[in-house]
Amino acid sequence: MIANIMQIAGVRSEGDSALLLFVVYAFVIVSSLYLITYLVCLILAIVKRKQGFLLISAIPLYHLVLVFVLLLVWFLFE
């Protein structure tokens, strides 16, 4: 989380494209929101133990896949 804050506060180089900046900031924001996603899904899974338990449990996994895809896109643009 501290690394994401440092990434946002850092100085950008002038040759970066707008698309690269979008991908980098999207990665930073999505990876920062993972903890909130995990905690919300954990609380919902505890409250609703029998209703939609598997669907709620899979949401953090989909979030991690999104983070991984954004990381791959970032690597492709570098």
List pLDDT tens digits, range 11-40. 667 777 888 888 888 988 999 999 999 999
Residue 70: count other Cβ atoms within 10 Å of its Cβ. 19
What pTM, to 2 d.p., does this model score?
Answer: 0.79
Instruction: Quote the longest CA-to-CA distance of the chain.
Output: 53
Helices (H), the chain: 2-9, 18-32, 34-47, 53-77
- What is residue 16's DSSP assignment? -
What is the pLDDT, as a whole number, of residue 8? 67
pLDDT of res. 11? 67
pLDDT 10s digits, 51-61: 767 788 899 99
